[in-house]
Structure 1
Amino acid sequence: MMASRGNQFLRVLLICVAIFRSVTSNINDGSFDGSNFNKFDAPDQFSHDQFSESYNTPLHPIENRFWRSPENLGEVSGVAVEPTGNLVIFHRGDRTWNYDTFDENAEYQEKYKGPIRENTVLKVDSKIGNIICGWGNQTFYLPHGIHVDPFGNIWLTDIALHQVFKYSASGIPQMILGQRFEPGNDINHFCQPTSVAVLSSGDIVIADGYCNNRIILFDKRGNPKYAIGENWITLRVPHALTILPNEQVCIADREDLRIVCLDVTFSGLKQNPPSYLPYSIHHPQFGRIFGIASYHGFIYAVNGMTFKNIQIRGFTIDHINRNVIEFWNPESSAFTMPHAIAVCPYGRALYVSEIGPNKVWKFDLVIKSNNTDVKQLVLHKDGK
């Protein structure tokens, strides 16, 4: 009986793969090279009812002039927000990434420097920007991504170590995935992993990132389940991840100048159409999307340096209609090199980190009413 069910599942899965290839082989976006784009983009057959639970009013980011970014930071590669509302920063201290940092095999060339001596993970007060505490000294070599899961655990990626780390909120190590200083492309190795996101089930989604251009799913204990690579979807530098209310994972597909969303667990196998069919969100002004975050089903993204005619800025995106509904920027000065973005779990604030200026911006998230910005009137007992 078990074998029969397994065979039935395999037949359904193979049929779905064939449908993918049949449906998507005719998709063509004239502004992109068809060999690299939309290989597994789903047709426009998703109904609004399918996503009704996540659809709400978008919030408008406005620069908070009273908040001050901590000073004397290295390259701020990642930002995340704790369940309490406090910001967590992941920065590179005295390290930078240049053409000599890795060889042609993605092996780190500066191990002789030893780990970064200063605290690389900093908890920052959400009201004024003061550093509350820090940890992670003498541990990391070249930080990249940071994610705080709903339980307050902190997930980090180090592209020099080719590893992913889980820490408690207080900085106690819980799990390490990948092999130290060993780049690879099998299920037990990463090659410059960029980002982590944790589903409500506890499954761990990892963007494996600069070399392998794939997504890997692990169970909550860190056991690998499967990799989603070019057999399912073509990615070029999956740089950041965010999870929508319907548990779809959206990917900042940086070098393909787009956002890709899909159900990485394939839990929609029995749905018609299956909910895990990937779809892309494009916009002529996207350029290279570096960071994405989401709140109540709306995606907030920042791009980086791309072409002369592409402005560096933030985007608010309706993933249901797959369009940009707002552009936004700081008011006091322009973005220079945004790298990561995070949204407070209560929808009160949004943070953008930059490499180069090595700073973090805070934006208040407000409701727009009759073309007037109105502060959100949601108060929390911690005032954050």
Structure 2
Amino acid sequence: MRSALAASVLLALAACGAPEREEAPRAVIDESWPTIPEGAVFGQVSAVEVDSHGHVFVLHRAGREWEEPFPAEPIAEPTVFMFSPGGALLAKWGAGAFVMPHGLSIDAGDTIWITDVAHEQVFAFSHDGEEQMVLGERGVSAQDDSHFGRPADIAFLGNRVLVADGYVNTRVAEFDRSGAFLREWGEFSTAHGIAVDEERIYVADRENARIQVFSLEGELLETRSSPGGNYTYGLATLGGGWLAAVEGRDGADRTGAIVRVYRPDGALDRSFDVGLEGEGASLGHDIAIGRDGYAYVTDVYGNRVVRFSLARAAE
């Protein structure tokens, strides 16, 4: 089905004289990272984050593909993999917990927060996968203080939990750490990714092909349009106002995986291509930055997570 769609897109692009695909420098990907044990079910990799110990948590759909209406049964295989900094699989959990897992974020206490767009819920888990809290009513979509509309991603600001909500709703929903609703703000067309640094909140306003930048109180400060009108899927802060973003589609709606690094003033510093060759082969979805300086990007269509240095491009 996907190959037929890709062929149709290519024909349409050829007919309308779409611009050439961007030629960004290729990132130097660590081809040995991670190690997936033989027999492990791994695929449709949606989200990635690094904890305080350098463990890399990867959320995937174990071979399930995004098709609507979503199925009712949960994914039977583990969907959360924890890798060592060197790429060894240390733990896996989440079997039977999710239908369409989407976002994964880790707070300062190493609690694992996960969104499920089919369940319409946000979950908090201990480091080893014990469920601690659930926000939202299972299977019920609404925009109020106890429901979500396909929640996509999560970020943290002190005692506040910020949910990019998401595909159906058009807001950021804020809660305290006990799960009490605080407020909602913003207006987006698919609030797909959210990240926070010392002074700002960044939201990937995906279908508007832009990144919105807010104060810590939620006041809009700046709008950053992607070069070429590309669609930003995931964000990660680098400290000091620097920001990394991954784009999953270009301005002509062709899928791929382009990583951007933005300076504190919003100017583009550099770009990398981390996608696989061929239309429809990759869909960059999320990005995380480790304390060792490595960037990690999930590729939904490529069924993979890649590691690379933001400072290096292929010669």
Q: TM-score range by the shorter chain?
A: 0.7 to 0.9
Seen in structure 2, the aligned counterparts of structure 1 residues 124 and 333 have a Cα distance that, compared at 3 Å, is farther
The match for 1:117 is: 76
DSSP 3-state at the match of 1:364:
strand
1:342-361 CA deviation, whole Å, 9 max, x = no partner?
Answer: 111x2421100111111010
2:162 corresponds to: 205
Larger strand fraction of residues: 2
- The within-5 A match list for 1:48-67 is 62-67=28-33
Higher Rg of the two aligned structures: 1
Going from structure 1 to structure 2, the CA distance change for 1:359 and 1:312 (only over 3 Å counts) comes to: closer
1:253 and 2:223 correspond? no
- What TM-score comes out, normalization by structure 2 length? 0.83
CA distance in 2 between counterparts of 1:322 and 1:182 reads: 38
| Structure 1, unaligned runs of 5 or more | 1-59, 103-107, 267-275, 374-384
Asked if residue 298 in structure 1 is aligned to residue 242 in structure 2, the reply is yes
2:231 corresponds in structure 1 to 288
For the structure 1 residues 161 and 309, does the alpha-carbon distance in structure 2 shift closer, same or farther, using more than 3 Å as the test?
Answer: closer
Q: 1:249 to 1:69 in 2, by over 3 A?
A: farther
Tell me how far 1:292 sits from its aligned partner. Answer: 1.0
Q: How does 1:183-262 map to 2 (within 5 A)?
A: 183-199=141-157, 201-229=158-186, 234-246=187-199, 248-262=200-214
Q: Quick one: structure 1 residues 265 and 220, their matched pair in 2 at CA, closer, same or farther if it must change by over 3 Å?
A: farther
Write the distance in 2 (CA, Å) between the matches of 1:136 and 1:147: 15
Give distance in 2, aligned partners of 1:277 and 1:359. 34
Q: Note the C-alpha offset of 1:97.
A: 1.1
Alignment of 1:1-384 (within 5 A): 62-68=28-34, 70=36, 72-98=41-67, 101-102=68-69, 108=70, 110-111=71-72, 114-127=73-86, 129-199=87-157, 201-229=158-186, 234-246=187-199, 248-265=200-217, 276-296=219-239, 297-308=241-252, 312-318=257-263, 320-330=264-274, 336-344=282-290, 346-366=291-311
What residue identity is the alignment partner of 2:33?
A: W
Q: After TM superposition, give the deviation of residue 283 of structure 1 in Å.
A: 3.1
Q: CA RMSD in A?
A: 2.5
Preserved CA contact (<8 Å) 2:43 2:64: yes
Q: Percent identity?
A: 28
- Rounded Cα–Cα distance in structure 1 between residues aligned with 2:106 and 2:275: 28
- Alpha-carbon offset, residue 207 of structure 1: 0.6
Q: Is the 8 A contact 1:67 1:362 kept in 2?
A: yes
Task: Give the distance between the partners of 1:153 and 1:309, measured in 2 at CA.
Answer: 35
- The Cα shift of 1:163 comes to 0.1
Hey, what's the Cα distance between the residues in 2 that align with 1:77 and 1:332? 16
Question: Do 2:276 and 2:302's aligned partners in 1 also have CA atoms closer than 8 Å?
Answer: no
Distance 1:292 1:215 in 2: 15
Range 292-301 or range 143-152, more displaced: 292-301
CA distance in 1: counterparts of 2:308 and 2:286, whole angstroms: 14
User: CA 1:211/1:61 → structure 2, altered by over 3 Å: closer, same or farther?
Assistant: same
- In structure 2, give the amino acid aligned to 1:122: F
SS in 2 for 1:255: helix
Q: What's the offset of the Cα at 1:322?
A: 1.4
Write the distance in 2 (CA, Å) between the matches of 1:262 and 1:69. Answer: 38
The SS at the match of 2:227 is: coil
* Aligned counterparts of 2:35 and 2:304: Cα–Cα separation in 1: 6
Cα shift readout 1:172-197 (whole Å, capped 9, x = no counterpart): 11111000111111121001100011
Q: Is the 8 A contact 1:282 1:323 kept in 2?
A: no
Using the size of structure 1 for normalisation, the TM-score is 0.68
1:147–1:155 contact (8 Å) kept in structure 2:
yes
Indicate how the Cα distance of structure 1 residues 236 and 372 shifts in structure 2: closer, same or farther if over 3 A, else same.
closer
Question: Residue 65 of structure 1: CA displacement?
Answer: 3.5
SS in structure 2 of the partner of residue 313 of structure 1: strand
Following superposition, the deviation at residue 285 of structure 1 comes to 2.5
Partner of 1:56: none
Q: CA deviation at 1:66?
A: 3.3
How far, CA to CA, are the matches of 1:294 and 1:262 in structure 2?
14
One-letter code of the match for 1:186? D
**Any conservation in 1 of the 2:259–2:274 contact (CA below 8 Å)?**
no
Uncovered stretches (5+) of structure 2, i.e. residues with no partner: 1-25
CA shift, 1:302, in A, is 1.1
